[in-house]
Chain A
């Protein structure tokens, strides 16, 4: 066997230590992504080898927290991909309206922008009262931020543009109060959102739901892990339920792709067959 590159060996050992000590399993995340994040932290912290980080990971709690945070990309937006939300309004809302109560699972909700966007949309469609949104992530820092529902005011302009492009029915400013720095989302938007820590790799099926949104999460997983999570989604969805992936994510390699019907191929919205 050809000798492997030292850095790769060190990264494997680091991921193994993270799993054994902290229970987070990154061993089947995409290599290029993991390597970028780890090398980034190495340079930031002034270490020369990944092995030096191994020591810190095991013995320095705050270093470990930073590294864990680095490995989960939390970048998100309100009404990200406005065309997606237009498609939800046109194609999914009529389906959801047929149910007396609705459960929606946002898997990998990060700091909550996506769940708040959905709450706004459902409010405008008159469905929020009978909906429960389960917003989950394995990153507790992100979840804590999400619960607060406080966003930097500098982003509001961009979010307003997104909201309008998403077919918003009102003024975006109806949904928050702002001062010079912060915008606080209206309390009633959170009323039916349940925030929960859930790890897609190590935890089990979450709930029986009508709709799952998991956008920009599976892109970080290798194929086999994607397949495993797709199985979990399939088991969690009711028949006829809707699965929404990110705009650049297909079901290309999922063993379950024939179990779904395309509702909007451009927006990567799929319906579980009966």
Chain B
């Protein structure tokens, strides 16, 4: 089955976790990746540039109205919610924090689930809150594939644990298994 997009939600411990997954993906990876990483509202996005230097895929901030295309890893901007439109473009919003977070994982996941339906993969990684659980459930409801980092292996287990308790997820993986799984998807596509 062809997947249209992968959405990833990650909070505390996130940079480490992402660094174990993203650099291993090849330059011609066929599925676009969209990430909400909780960061301080004042973050200047420098970390995105440094991720870009370590990854073979192009890592960039998601611009409003930008078309979602393969070859890219899109990061939500600090202090803005990121939504996916049905025409596979991004919208940004400054509406109030959701789950104490802006960007919120739920906001990205719920909108992406509507846009991509069963062609979406949702992935929840380490984090010490509950953001993303409802969004992941929505992805499952729409027929998408749901993966959560094994809480036992997460730097902060509560976000994965919360997601698992809310949805009967398809896979519970370590970071290494997640990296392998995503690589395999690339080969099959």
Q: Give the shortest distance, in Å, between B147 (CB) and chain A (any CB).
A: 23
Instruction: Indicate if the CB atoms of A220 and B93 lie closer than 8 Å.
Output: yes
Please tell me if A42 contacts chain B, counting CB pairs below 8 Å.
Answer: no
Instruction: Indicate if the CB atoms of A219 and B93 lie closer than 8 Å.
Output: yes
Report if A32-B84 is in contact (Cβ < 8 Å); known contacts: A75-B94, A219-B92, A219-B93: yes
Report if A32-B65 is in contact (Cβ < 8 Å); known contacts: A73-B95, A216-B94, A219-B93: no
Interface residues of B in 83-102 (CB under 8 A from A): 83-86, 91-96
Which residues of B sit under 8 angstroms from A250, Cβ to Cβ? Answer: 63-64
Closest to B66 in A: A252
User: What's the Cα separation between A37 and B93 when bound, in Å?
Assistant: 11
User: What's the Cα separation between A37 and B94 when bound, in Å?
Assistant: 12
Instruction: Indicate if the CB atoms of A219 and B64 lie closer than 8 Å.
Output: yes
Task: Specify which of B77, B92, B107, B110 lies most central, judged by the most chain A CB atoms within 10 Å of its CB.
Answer: B92
Please tell me if A10 contacts chain B, counting CB pairs below 8 Å.
Answer: no
User: Can you list 11 pairs linking A and B with CB atoms under 8 Å apart?
Assistant: A30-B85, A32-B86, A32-B111, A36-B83, A36-B93, A36-B110, A36-B111, A219-B80, A248-B61, A248-B63, A252-B66
Instruction: Indicate if the CB atoms of A73 and B63 lie closer than 8 Å.
Output: no
Which residues of A sit under 8 angstroms from B84, Cβ to Cβ? Answer: 32
Instruction: Indicate if the CB atoms of B64 and A31 lie closer than 8 Å.
Output: no
Instruction: Indicate if the CB atoms of B64 and A75 lie closer than 8 Å.
Output: no
Please tell me if A274 contacts chain B, counting CB pairs below 8 Å.
Answer: no
Please tell me if B114 contacts chain A, counting CB pairs below 8 Å.
Answer: yes
Q: Give the shortest distance, in Å, between B161 (CB) and chain A (any CB).
A: 25
Closest to A250 in B: B63
Instruction: Indicate if the CB atoms of B95 and A32 lie closer than 8 Å.
Output: no
Please tell me if A208 contacts chain B, counting CB pairs below 8 Å.
Answer: no
Report if A249-B94 is in contact (Cβ < 8 Å); known contacts: A32-B84, A36-B107: no
Q: Give the shortest distance, in Å, between B122 (CB) and chain A (any CB).
A: 16
User: What's the Cα separation between A33 and B111 when bound, in Å?
Assistant: 9
Which residues of B sit under 8 angstroms from A30, Cβ to Cβ? Answer: 83, 85, 91
User: What's the Cα separation between A223 and B89 when bound, in Å?
Assistant: 11
User: What's the Cα separation between A30 and B84 when bound, in Å?
Assistant: 10
Pick the contact of A248: B85, B92, B96, B115 (CB < 8 A): B92
Which residues of A sit under 8 angstroms from B107, Cβ to Cβ? Answer: 36
Which residues of A sit under 8 angstroms from B110, Cβ to Cβ? Answer: 36
